[in-house]
Structure 1
Amino acid sequence: MTASLRTVTLGCKVNQYETELVREGLVRFGYHDAVEDEQAQLCVVNTCTVTSDGDSKSRYTIRKLARENPDSRIVVMGCYATRAPDELLKLPNVVEVVTDKRELPDVLQRYGVIDLPSGISRFGTRHRAYVKVQDGCLLRCSYCIIPQVRPHVSSRPLQHIVEEVQRLVANGYREVVLTGVHLGHYGVESNWNKPKEAWLRLSTLLRELVKLPGDFRLRLSSIEATEVTRELISVMADNRQRIAPHLHLCLQSGSDSVLRRMRRRWSSRMFIDRCQMLRDALDAPAITTDIIVGFPGETEAEFEATLETARASAFSKIHIFPYSARKGTPAAEMPGQISFEVKTERSARLAELEKQMQREYLASLVGKPLELLVEGEIDAPPLDASIAPLATSSARMQLGTTCRYVPLELRSNLAGDGDLTIVTPTAVAGDRLIA
């Protein structure tokens, strides 16, 4: 009988990919996924340490696994494991803490994995798969702990990525999301001693991936605005049927003085200009972002500058993060820490602006043919006749995500779960489209 395995992931898309790579390696060499009531003999927890909340969730997860699987061995990996291994070794059932991902092949050999796969072939039961192409960050943003726990910059071989995407498409995945700790730096460490014409870039990788056969689309995950080059935009514009017209550009603040304290690499004007470049080259692209509210010393005028930059950038969605001091980062020691009440009030104002911009963007998509990835089916509640006069009765409906990263309710039986299909939305309902 094979040994039972349970894996848990906290944090980002990169972590989700790395967990799946480890799981696939273990399953290939004799483990099986523990069913719901089955005791797991081996548990793997991939931790997050971006915030102190990530640390506490990681500890809670480990303790819960130990209670529910009392005879298990728990292996802990991820950014928290790199930052504070001694803390994690004290937790129940933890037998190993992987402090450096480069040690994973040696660690897994102790659990029977002779060779760690060069890539994945499955990504759970969803229809969207994440593919990690790059690791490590060279930047030193003053609020971020990640460069301390992922300092080694590396890019996966282009051919490994191409073969991995081929496998995923062959296994039924209809969207592949390219991700990395610093996605825009794909290939950068391999270019230092090469002539410019021989450089490996993210755009180089995309040009290879769009050639692959099959019914699928590509999407880029979070990327820095400075790395949205004319060459990258050109690749997206030339391959509109394959690359989703959506980019997540991390703003963090729209105030130039706050950006300097954050040690970001651009001005608000440059960011706005890059957004305009995208709109000039692509058809109604979705631009989403992250914004930190209440960074140390943030004045009312600086926050107003962030609101103004957000308006000018016309985001379709904003992930709002009230600033939380991260021990070990320069920002945690800065004067002028902002009160909880002020951060809450400013976050609410930014959220109201986000709703307004989201409504405007969704309305601009009504009547425009969009590619939809159908991702499930649920009971459809009746819609107000003023929203969609022809769709007021309860029925089954498909839920999916459009190429522009907007959720859509498809109130017809024209497509099935996992299909990529073209639909034309007829109305907006809250934060989603209706077709």
Structure 2
Amino acid sequence: MKLKTHTLGCKVNQYETEYLREGLQSIGYADAVGGEAADLCIVNTCTVTGEGDSKSRQVIRRMARENPAAKIVVMGCYATRAPDEIKALPGVTEVLTDKRELPDLLGRFGVTDVPTGISGFGSRHRAYVKVQDGCLLRCSFCIIPHVRPQLTSRPMEHIVDEVRRLVDGGYREVVLTGIHLGHYGVDFNRLKPKSEWTRLAHLLVELAELPGDFRVRLSSIEATEVTRELLDVMASYPQRICPHLHISMQSGSDSVLRRMRRRWGSQRFVDRCGMFKERLDRPAITTDIIVGFPGETEQEFRETIEVSREVGFSKIHIFPFSARRGTPAATLPDQLPKPLKQERVHRLAEVEAELRDEYFASLAGMQLKVLVESRMEGDASFVGTSCRYAPVELQTIPDNEGQFVDVTAGDVAEGRILAREAVMHASSACSPI
């Protein structure tokens, strides 16, 4: 039996596809390769933007065309939001509208020993581990709380066992991910006294204590969840936890943040980033910013640039505002024209490149632990990702791929740090020398 999968969207989606893939492989399914037709196709969809919906439909139609005898199962946020639209597409035999039913789906296909997690992540050198699902926030631009509203945290013992399997399987970086990662444990805590609450920081301690040569990285987190408790754990395990946080800002303008229905103003965001930088040595801070939100004035856009400079982001994921049907922001007045949004995207990208290079230059002379990931196209050099999420170019031997090397950070060129020296990984620390 042959299987094809296609995933659109976030790290959580990628994890959930891998979970199904492993379960189906346990009863004899194998990946279709080359031009092989599949017996079963799974499409994991995204609905963050209208473009995500469109791409999802395109993939489903292509799967039906190329695999005419296959059953096509569609899941993901678009499937949850518009199941009838999905059912009307060619070849679709089942639409899964609730990700909590993934074990039941495996059972319907004949998996009797339903897994509690994954053991691998394809050919990647880092593995994503979903620890939480659901979001209760109501940001005016976001559709996700409407399609993933139930807060659900995975049992800590399942996560610890899963990470142990991944490390034993050779994965050197584990990225903890969720729809609202900082709310890990909230559903556990509702009926407990505060002294017995389970938080993300507690999970990190359990993972950091596992044996093996690996590191843990956190994916996106909200500024209010950058707590002293979390930072204390990160500082206590520099050999395990990457000194990097992706803290979603969206805008640096207080008036825009209010229209976005975010939970804090720009100063609180700056203060939390400052607390992070005080607690750890030269940590990396990356973020998301939406440009051209309805009514955004030139002054409000400049405020975003000013806050970006004040924080000193090492990377900014820049998104021109896209009106999402079903969200309050889609009906706000003063929708900005596309050329103006693109012009502001370009200006912010220039600032991002400047801030990135400044941060990378600040690491000169520091020892960085780099996960070697791939050979550079047309070059003998390799590129990897450092503990501080900076891409690093280095000369090394091919059998180092997928392993750690210790490098001394040198010059910055073309958005990468050039390794001044590199040796096979011996120590676990990611610290100055």
Q: What is the TM-score normalised by the length of structure 2?
A: 0.95
* Correspondence 1:434 to 2:418: yes
1:12 counterpart residue number:
10
2:371 maps to a residue whose letter is L
1:96 counterpart residue number:
94
2:405 counterpart residue number:
421
1:145 counterpart residue number:
143
1:300 maps to a residue whose letter is E
SS class of match (1:370): strand
**C-alpha distance in 2 between matches for 1:132 and 1:379:** 32
- Of residues 167, 170, 179, the one that matches 2:177 is 179
Deviation at 1:414, TM superposition (A): 9.2
1:76 maps to a residue whose letter is V
* Correspondence 1:159 to 2:157: yes
SS class of match (2:409): coil
Q: Any gaps of 5 or more consecutive residues in structure 1?
A: 382-395
2:413 maps to a residue whose letter is A
The CA deviation string for residues 382-411 of structure 1, in whole angstroms up to 9 with x for no partner, is xxxxxxxxxxxxxx1221100011111112
**C-alpha distance in 2 between matches for 1:237 and 1:375:** 26
- Of residues 196, 201, 208, the one that matches 2:206 is 208
**C-alpha distance in 2 between matches for 1:421 and 1:144:** 40
Identity %: 65
* Correspondence 1:398 to 2:382: yes
The change in CA–CA distance for 1:115 and 1:151 in structure 2 (over 3 A counts) is: farther
2:285 counterpart residue number:
287
Deviation at 1:415, TM superposition (A): 6.9
**C-alpha distance in 1 between matches for 2:369 and 2:196:** 34
**C-alpha distance in 1 between matches for 2:333 and 2:369:** 48
Name which of structure 1's ranges 418-427 and 143-152 shifts more when overlaid on structure 2: 418-427
1:231 counterpart residue number:
229
SS class of match (1:424): strand
Contact 1:66 1:93 in 2 (8 A): yes
The change in CA–CA distance for 1:283 and 1:415 in structure 2 (over 3 A counts) is: farther
**C-alpha distance in 2 between matches for 1:165 and 1:50:** 29
**C-alpha distance in 2 between matches for 1:322 and 1:287:** 21
- Of residues 412, 415, 420, the one that matches 2:396 is 412
2:32 counterpart residue number:
34
**C-alpha distance in 2 between matches for 1:415 and 1:239:** 28
1:46 maps to a residue whose letter is N
Matches within 5 A, 1:50-129: 50-129=48-127
SS class of match (1:142): coil
- Of residues 325, 349, 352, the one that matches 1:327 is 325
2:424 counterpart residue number:
none
1:99 maps to a residue whose letter is T
Could you say what the CA RMSD is over the residues aligned between the two structures, in angstroms? Answer: 1.1
**C-alpha distance in 1 between matches for 2:164 and 2:67:** 37
Contact 1:428 1:434 in 2 (8 A): yes
SS class of match (1:237): helix
The CA deviation string for residues 124-149 of structure 1, in whole angstroms up to 9 with x for no partner, is 11110000000000000000000000
The CA deviation string for residues 181-221 of structure 1, in whole angstroms up to 9 with x for no partner, is 00000001111121212100000000100000000000000
The CA deviation string for residues 76-123 of structure 1, in whole angstroms up to 9 with x for no partner, is 000000000111111111000001112223333222222431000010
Q: What is the TM-score normalised by the length of structure 1?
A: 0.95
- Of residues 338, 347, 350, the one that matches 2:348 is 350
Q: Any gaps of 5 or more consecutive residues in structure 2?
A: 420-433
Contact 1:411 1:434 in 2 (8 A): no
Deviation at 1:28, TM superposition (A): 0.7
**C-alpha distance in 1 between matches for 2:351 and 2:85:** 41
The CA deviation string for residues 255-279 of structure 1, in whole angstroms up to 9 with x for no partner, is 0111011010011000001111111
2:428 counterpart residue number:
none
Number of residue pairs matched by the alignment: 419
**C-alpha distance in 2 between matches for 1:103 and 1:40:** 23
Name which of structure 1's ranges 36-45 and 177-186 shifts more when overlaid on structure 2: 36-45
2:242 counterpart residue number:
244
1:53 maps to a residue whose letter is E
SS class of match (2:38): coil
Contact 1:374 1:415 in 2 (8 A): no
- Of residues 250, 254, 257, the one that matches 1:256 is 254
SS class of match (1:372): strand
2:207 maps to a residue whose letter is L
Deviation at 1:252, TM superposition (A): 0.2
**C-alpha distance in 1 between matches for 2:18 and 2:235:** 32
Contact 1:415 1:421 in 2 (8 A): no
Matches within 5 A, 1:309-320: 309-320=307-318
The CA deviation string for residues 29-52 of structure 1, in whole angstroms up to 9 with x for no partner, is 221111122110000000000000
The change in CA–CA distance for 1:222 and 1:206 in structure 2 (over 3 A counts) is: same
The CA deviation string for residues 13-68 of structure 1, in whole angstroms up to 9 with x for no partner, is 00000000011111112211111221100000000000000000100111111111
Deviation at 1:379, TM superposition (A): 5.3
SS class of match (2:305): helix
**C-alpha distance in 2 between matches for 1:105 and 1:247:** 31
The change in CA–CA distance for 1:237 and 1:33 in structure 2 (over 3 A counts) is: same
The change in CA–CA distance for 1:380 and 1:280 in structure 2 (over 3 A counts) is: farther
**C-alpha distance in 2 between matches for 1:430 and 1:318:** 16
